[in-house]
């Protein structure tokens, strides 16, 4: 039995859960999310005990694979509509900066042109420092969307190992390399 899959998911205060035809609807203080449930999995919502159980019908390989995944997706949705998710990023480099423009972000990342990125619906970007080191936070209720958008921004200019310039996660540690040693004149 899956150790993760068999754990009950607690229903937090202010969260309403409804399951109709394989679609789980979770409504909370921060918003509303829907999650499609695979036909092999069964969701049992217990209002009295304030918990959700994910049940697998058999011990087939496919069912075992989906058991823990389904439980984690539902737990992330419940956490998202109550607390939300966020990723903090930093921009390090001389002349590198970030600013908002309309419904998007404009990055100066050492290219000959500014890079424009549209903020997806449902996400919020808060800039705390525009220039070196530029710091900003991406937040939203969908964990996958927050992580993917952060990864896309980091992919615009990943940090390089010599000077550490680029876009990095706030808690990311960049392994630095030694540069070329200056040859002494003999």
Asked whether the beta carbons of 75 and 68 are under 8 A apart, the reply is no
Domain that holds residue 114: 85-169
Which residues of the chain are under the pLDDT cut of 50? none
Residues 102, 162: one domain?
A: yes
Adjacent-strand bridge partners of 31: 28
Quote the pLDDT of residue 166: 93
Residues 59, 89: one domain?
A: no
Residues 97, 162: one domain?
A: yes
Residues 31, 56: one domain?
A: yes
Quote the pLDDT of residue 165: 92
Residues 157, 99: one domain?
A: yes
Quote the pLDDT of residue 183: 54
Residues 130, 162: one domain?
A: yes
Residues whose CB falls within 8 Å of the CB of residue 117, separated by 6 or more in sequence, listed in order: 104, 105, 106, 107, 152, 153, 156
Quote the pLDDT of residue 182: 61
Cα dihedral 60, 66, 68, 74 sign: negative
Residue 19 domain flag? yes
**DSSP code per residue over 7-48:** SPEE--TT-EEEEETTEEEEEETTEEEEEEPPTT-EEEEETT
Domains: count for the chain: 2
Q: Among 60, 134, 76, which Cα is nearest to 100's? A: 134
Quote the pLDDT of residue 6: 85
Q: Give the domain CATH number at 107.
A: 3.90.930.12
Asked whether the beta carbons of 137 and 88 are under 8 A apart, the reply is yes
Query: What pTM value is reported for the model?
Result: 0.88
């Amino acid at each position: 039995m899956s150790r993760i899959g068999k754990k009950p998911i607690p229903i937090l205060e202010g969260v309403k859960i409804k399951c109709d035809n394989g679609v789980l609807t979770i409504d909370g203080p921060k918003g509303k999310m829907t999650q499609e449930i695979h036909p092999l999995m069964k969701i049992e919502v217990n209002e009295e005990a304030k918990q959700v159980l994910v049940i697998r019908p058999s011990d087939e390989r496919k069912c075992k694979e989906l058991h823990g995944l389904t439980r984690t997706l539902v737990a992330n949705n419940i956490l998202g509509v109550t607390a939300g998710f966020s990723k903090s990023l930093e921009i390090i480099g001389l002349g590198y900066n970030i600013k908002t423009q309309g419904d998007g972000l404009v990055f100066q990342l050492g290219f000959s042109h500014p890079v424009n990125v549209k903020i997806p619906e449902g996400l919020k970007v808060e800039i705390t420092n525009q220039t070196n080191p530029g710091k900003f936070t991406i937040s939203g209720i969908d964990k996958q969307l927050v992580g993917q958008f952060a990864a896309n921004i980091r992919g615009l200019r990943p940090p390089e190992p010599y000077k550490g310039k680029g876009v990095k996660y706030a808690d990311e540690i960049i392994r630095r390399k030694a540069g070329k040693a200056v040859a002494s004149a003999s």
